[in-house]
Amino acid sequence: MSFWFDTEDYILPAADDAAKRLAEIFTEQGVRATFKIVGEKARVLRDRKRDDVIHALSKHDIGYHAEYHSVHPTPAEYEQQLGWDEGVKAFMRREGRGVEDLMKIFGVVPSCYGQAGGSWVPQSYAALRNWEIPIYLDETSHVGLDGKPFWYCGVLNVLNLDWRVTRTGLGGEGDFQEGCQQFDEVHKRVLDEGGGLISIYYHPCEWVHKQFWDGVNFSRGANPPREEWKLPPQKSPEETERAFEYFARYLEHVRTRPNVQLITAREMGALYPDRAYQRPFTRDELLLMAKHIQKEVTFLRLGDRAVSAAEILYLLAKAVVRFDKNPPPKVQFLGARPDERRLQYAFGSSPLAFRIDDIDLKFLYGPSSTWSETIQESTFSWKRWGEACCDFLEEVEDLGRIPPVIWVAGKAVAPEDFAATLGWGVERLSEQNLTSWTGTEFPGLKEVSLKKGNFTAGKYVAEDRPGLWGWVIFPPGLRCPKMMELGRLQAWTIKPAILTRP
């Protein structure tokens, strides 16, 4: 289980002391928490010369929690109409300064990121990969997978854990008793299902304020200049002291339960390794993927590892074309750098092959847009289909993501239909026990007719609806249909994260 604190109030100075006190409570009990810190909060600690707070926090794990958190525009506001590439750039430009400042002030690359309030955006994931921040740690209903950790856009998400999120109130004895009882119930349920992560999160400012720092300043789109920022109302010193004392007792209760291990965000990656990249898939596994993708274009669990729809598509395409990891530079394309990996394929030679062992997996993002008109039915020769697979693989090498459309004999095919059809083809070829075969036609398989793909992975991403943007800081009426559609397309990358057994 993991305790994490969104450390964000850069207005009320007492919140600095609250963060320090919490860090000390964990240190005294010999365990570590994760403090997700806002960029401006880190700068404020530095400028207020609170080296004592920075030092106390540094004994714990440091994550990132956005540059200004609630100053408008927040990420969902500035990303709402942007596409993928410009959205990734916007996020990196606007939020990147905070990452740099955290590195300067705390001396570490943040272990994780989680959005401010409900300001979730899909483009943030590509920025995290660029910054080498491997974990998304937060709670929100925008994306989730059965209340358990999952992979999305190549980032491990500890997000949307449903009933596996618990906490205690900070009011005193009654809250404490109730919090302990609630933890014990969640703990029992998690043990009953074989173990897993429990999330407990707070904001250090909750120990000192009566109302959130951003609620009093930035609610419903309000954006006053810094000189007009107001301090939030504060709790009495007695209330604050009682809240800390009971919280220390709650922590002691939680950490001393049997079979409980407290982990930080930085330790989560080792518990949920992505084994899909650790060893090649077998012939039988590839056949399972080929069958699965014809029914549903979504992830598949295979024993101790899982593959996303994007990964299945990539593996299937690689199975049916001849390629070379380090081809001689005889196939040159205009503008191609000589050192670029290229498929050993040119029109006129034989594009088809069948090899399903020892294919390296490559991470791909989902498409960044939807092609408006794709063909619904057609029949192709396998030669044309092989050419399309080569074209697809070259394009994904360049783009790093699935294109919105795949051209087969000059016709526009949707990626999910392409995937389902490839699944059909690989299943037929597997039946013939071919190995490392190359030629211009597959024996006994002249034609392939287009299959309809059923992209069900999209259901793990919320549809745009008013309630999704209910965070009090958002301007009233905010809607982000274009951005949530981008998020849905990125569900090509979603798959469960599987807990390692010790």
**Where on the chain is the footprint of Zn ion (CB under 5 A)?**
6, 8, 116
Q: Report helix, strand or coil for 14.
A: helix
Check if the beta carbon of residue 95 is closer than 8 Å to that of residue 67.
yes
Least distance between Zn ion and beta carbon 69 (Å) = 6
Least distance between Zn ion and beta carbon 10 (Å) = 11
Least distance between Zn ion and beta carbon 248 (Å) = 23
Around Cβ 291, how many Cβ atoms within 10 Å? 15
> Which of 128/190 has CB closer to Zn ion?
128
> Which of 45/388 has CB closer to Zn ion?
45
Least distance between Zn ion and beta carbon 6 (Å) = 4
> Which of 116/486 has CB closer to Zn ion?
116
> Which of 116/389 has CB closer to Zn ion?
116
Percentages (nearest 5) of helix, strand, coil residues in the chain: 45, 15, 45
Residue 160 CA to its chain's centroid (Å): 11
Least distance between Zn ion and beta carbon 62 (Å) = 15
> Which of 206/311 has CB closer to Zn ion?
206
Tokens found for residue 26: 């964990």
> Which of 21/41 has CB closer to Zn ion?
41
Residue nearest to Zn ion (CB): 6
C-alpha–C-alpha distance, residues 405 and 412, integer Å: 6
Around Cβ 227, how many Cβ atoms within 10 Å? 5
Residues whose CB is less than 8 angstroms from the CB of residue 455 and which lie 6 or more positions away in sequence, other chains included: 297, 298, 309, 416, 491, 492
> Which of 37/82 has CB closer to Zn ion?
37
C-alpha–C-alpha distance, residues 410 and 112, integer Å: 44
Least distance between Zn ion and beta carbon 169 (Å) = 19
Least distance between Zn ion and beta carbon 50 (Å) = 20
For the chain, what is the radius of gyration of the CA atoms? Answer: 25
CB burial string 104-120: b at 16+ within 10 A, e below = ebbeeebbbbbbbbbbb
- Write the CA distances from 272 to 151, 267, 279, 360, 439, integer angstroms: 10, 9, 16, 20, 41
> Which of 6/67 has CB closer to Zn ion?
6
Least distance between Zn ion and beta carbon 179 (Å) = 21
HEC per residue, 42-98: HHHHHHCCCHHHHHHHHCCEEEECCCCCCCCCCHHHHHCCCCHHHHHHHHHHHHHHH
411-413/305-307 β-pairing: unpaired
